[in-house]
Amino acid sequence: MLKGNFYYLWSIILFLFSMIFFYFSLVLSYNDLVYFVEYNLYFFNSISLSYLLMLDWISLSFVSVVFFISSMVLFYSMQYMGSMSYSSIRFLFLVLLFVFSMFLMIMSPNLMSILLGWDGLGLVSYCLVIYYSSTKSYLAGLITCLTNRLGDVGLLISICWMISYGSWHFMFYSSFFSEYLYLMVIMSCFTKSAQIPFSCWLPAAMAAPTPVSALVHSSTLVTAGVYLLIRFYAYFSLSNYMVFISLITMLMASICALFEYDLKKIIALSTLSQLGLMMTSLFLGLSELSYFHLVTHAMFKSLLFLCAGIFIYYMSDNQDIRLMGSVCVNLPLTTACFNISSLSLCGIPFLSGFYSKDLIIESSLFSSLNLFIFIIFYMSLGLTGGYSLRLFYYTMICMNNYSPLSLFSDSFDYMKFSVLLLTLFSVLIGCLIIWIMNFDLLFLLFPIYIKLLVLFMVGLGLWVSFESFFFNYLFFIGFYLFNNYMWFMYSHSFYMYSMFYYFSLNSSNILLSWGEYYGASGLMFYMLKFSNYFQVYFSSSFKVFLLMFIFWLIILI
C-alpha cells in the first residue's frame, strides 16, 4: 500500500508541474519572451561556477509534455508493475531519475549540463532495459549502451572544441562555430534518435517493461536528439545528405514493420519511422513543424504503447500478434483508444497527427526535393497506413489463437484511467497547439489532387497491407529475412561486438604463446645465451685474447 501511495503521490506532483509549465509556455509564447536564469554555484576570487537555465516556450512546453506522460506512466505502473513488488520502488526511482535527467537536458543551453542530462538518460535507459534479469535483456542493454556511447563521444568532442571559445554556452558563440563541431552534434543526435546506421538499438530496447517503452523509447528519450538539433537548427545550413539519411531511415522502418510479429517492436519501428519524418522536416528547414510533430507524436505514441501494454498484461506477457485476436471482444475500451492512436499515427483527419503531418508534407513540397526523394517520402507515408492496418487485422479481426479460455474483461482501473486521459490529449493536442501557439505558418494553396495525394498514398498502403495477407513468404524468404533483420543492421552491429569478443578470448592465447616467445621470456633466453658466450670467451686462454687484440689493432690502423 505504501508503494502505491508513492506512485500516486509522484504522479500527482508531476501532473501539477506539467500544467504549471504548460501555462508559462503559453505566456512566453504569447509575449514572445525568452528568459535566462543564471545561478552561481561557486565563486572564489576570479573563478565562478554557474548554472544557466533558458526559459522559452519550446523548453517549457516540452518539459510539460515529459512531465505529463511521466505522471500517466507512473499512474499506469501502479497496477502494471504491482506484481513485481520487490522492485517496484526501484522502478519508481529510475523513472524519476530519468525525468530529472530529461529536465537537465531540455532546460540548459550549456553543453556541459546537456552532457550531464545526456549521460543520465543513457545510464537510466540502460538500467531500465535490463530491468527484467534475463539474457535477452542483458544483450539488449549491451547494444543500447554501446550504441549510445558513440553519440556521447560526439558530444564530448564538441565540449572539448568549445573550450577554445572560453564558454560552453553554445547559443552565445554560434557565429564562430566550425562545421566540424556541428557534425559532431549531429552524430550524437543521430545515435540518440536511432537514425541509420544506429537504428538497431531501438527495437532491441523493447526488452524493457512496457511503461518504460511508453515513456523512454517512444516519446522522450528518442526525441531528445531531435530536440537538441532544433536548438542548433539556426546554426547549420540545410543538408541534402542528412535529408537522404533521414528518409532512408523512415522507409526502412516502415518496410520492416510490415514483416514484424512482435507487438512492441512494430510500435518501436513506427516510432523510428516518425523520427525519420521529424529529422527530414528539420533538415528541410521546417524546425517549428518538426517540434510540433514531436509533441503530438509523443502523446499518441505513448498512448499506443500503454494500450499495447494492457493487451500484453491480459495475454499473460504474450507479445506475438499472431496469437492475439479478437481483443475488441474482451477489451472494447482499450481497443477504441488503441485505434484512435493508430489512426492518429496514419494522419487521419482530424486527429492530432493530421495537423502536424499534413503541414510537414505540404510544406516540404516548397523545398528543393527531386523526384526520387519525393517518391521515397510519399512511399514511407503510405506504408504507415500499411503496418497500422496489419496490426489492426491481427489484433482485432483474427481469431484468438492464444487460449480458448480468455476470461479477462475491460474493467475500469488505474491503467484505464491513464489511457483515457492520454486519449483525450491525443485527440485535442494537435488543434490546441495550432490555436494557441504562435506559429509562423504559411498559407498553402494546392490543387485538389495534391491535397488528396497524402490520403491516396495512405489508402494505397492499406491496400498493399491487405494484399500481403495472402502472400506466401516462402517464395521470397530472403526478402523477408532482409527486412525482418532491419536490412541486416543487426548483423553488422553484433559483428563488431562479436569481433572484439573473440579477440578478447584469443588474446590470452596470443599473450601466452607468441607474446611470451617474442616478448619477455624470449628476450631473457637470448640474453642468457649471449652472456654464456661472453663468459666462455673471456675465461678462455691468453692466446685467444691476444689474437683478438691484434686483430682489432690491425683494423684500427
Beta bridge partners of 55: 35
φ, ψ for residue 39, nearest 5 deg: -120, 120
Q: What is the pLDDT of residue 16?
A: 92
Q: What is the pLDDT of residue 1?
A: 45
φ, ψ for residue 325, nearest 5 deg: -175, 145
User: 3-class DSSP state for residue 48?
Assistant: strand
CA distance 142 to 376: 33
Q: Residue 385: which residues within 8 A CB-CB, separation 6 or more?
A: 346, 457, 458, 459, 461, 462, 465
CA distance 75 to 8: 6
Do the Cβ atoms of 290 and 282 come closer than 8 Å? yes
Tell me which amino acid residue 323 is.
L
CA distance 205 to 222: 11
Burial 185-198 (b: 16+ CB within 10 A, else e): bbbbbbbbbbbbeb
Return the residue matching grid coordinates 539519411: 245
What torsion, rounded to 10 degrees, do the Cα atoms 528, 534, 537, 539 define? -80
The beta strands (E) that lie in 254-335 are given as none
Cα 393 versus chain centre, distance: 28
Q: Where are the alpha helices (DSSP H) in 81-129?
A: 88-107, 111-129
CA distance 276 to 252: 10
193 conformational bin, left if phi > 0, alpha if psi -120 to 50, beta if neither = alpha
Give the Å distances, CA to CA, from 270 to 5, 250, 253, 254, 305: 34, 9, 7, 7, 11
Query: What digits encode the pLDDT tens for the residues 204-242?
Result: 888 778 888 777 777 778 888 888 888 877 666 557 788
Q: Taking the chain (557 residues) in consecutive chunks of 10 residues, what is each chunk's mean pLDDT?
A: 68 91 88 84 73 86 90 84 62 87 86 84 84 80 81 84 76 68 83 82 80 78 84 68 86 84 86 88 84 89 88 80 78 86 85 85 79 83 83 80 63 78 87 77 75 78 72 60 63 56 57 59 68 64 66 71
Of 195, 388, 208, the C-alpha closest to 278 is 195
Cα 463 versus chain centre, distance: 30
Burial 289-315 (b: 16+ CB within 10 A, else e): bbbbbbbbbbbbbbbbbbbbbbbbbbb
Do the Cβ atoms of 371 and 319 come closer than 8 Å? no
Cβ atoms within 10 A of the Cβ of 376, count? 17
CA distance 206 to 266: 10
Query: What digits encode the pLDDT tens for the residues 458-490?
Result: 777 777 777 766 665 555 666 666 666 666 666
